Amino acid sequence: MNNHSIKNNPIDTEHQPRNTLDRWILIVGDTLSLLFIVTVAISFYEILMRYLFNDPTVWVHETASFIGGCLFVYGGLYALANNKHVRVVLLYNSASERGKHYLNIFHHVMGLLFSAMLFFASYEMAHSSWIKPWGGIQPETSGSAWDPAFPAYLKAVILLVSAVMFIQFCLHLISEIHALRNNKNV
């Protein structure tokens, strides 16, 4: 397949960012993906230390889990930004252009509901992991020998990502409604 046919493929144009927020999410996501290399590197370091020098670390497992968790959560934003989220392709591909618009609107409305519920739940989790019942700020820690505050940090990341995802779904819904209105003949 030559480059010209790739550029004219309708599937490729469908997987483009729709707005500035999507473009920034993709840029940040591409940059954050380098953290996978960091995770592999520190895991390799742990293997060397444990099996070669018989001196295991206390920080690698929790650090790798935290980085992986953050990247996994961010993956939802990234998939939505380039329109590669899960959908039932058998139904979607067989729908007319107008039907696809309606399916997209349904998807965005359901996504709004999901991200709103996720935001509420993640707010509750983040709040309880940062604010103690007596009112003081004390981040929740892992309880391990190293005891980092990674659980509190991850819950804050989930809260932030769910807020951005809600905004992202709003923007996509508005864009889809405008596209449907502008294509009355579809």
Asked if 175 contacts 117 with a C-beta cutoff of 8 angstroms, the reply is no
pLDDT in tens, the chain (186 residues): 444 444 444 445 566 888 999 999 999 999 999 999 999 999 999 999 999 999 999 999 999 999 999 999 999 999 999 988 777 788 888 999 899 999 999 999 999 999 999 999 999 999 999 999 888 999 999 999 999 999 999 999 999 999 999 999 999 999 999 998 887 654
**Which of these, 29, 8, 10, lies nearest to 97 by C-alpha position?**
10
Q: What is the pLDDT of residue 182?
A: 86
What pTM did the predictor assign?
0.86
For helices 97-130 and 150-182, the axis angle rounded to 10 degrees is: 160
Domains in the chain: boundaries: 3-182
Which two structure tokens, joined as six digits, stand for 153? Answer: 């940090």
Helix crossing, 60-81 with 20-32: angle to 10°?
150
Report residue 136: phi and psi, to 5°.
-80, 155
Q: What is the model's pLDDT at position 4?
A: 41
Backbone angles phi, psi at 121, to 5 degrees: -65, -40
Q: Is residue 85 within 8 Å of 172, Cβ to Cβ?
A: no
For every residue of the chain, DSSP letters joined together read --HHHHHT-HHHHHTS--SHHHHHHHHHHHHHTTHHHHHHHHHHHHHIIIIISS---SSHHHHHHHHHHHHHHHHHHHHHHTT-S---HHHHHHS-HHHHHHHHHHHHHHHHHHHHHHHHHHHHHHHHHHB-TTS-B------SSS--SHHHHHHHHHHHHHHHHHHHHHHHHHHHHHHHHHTTT-
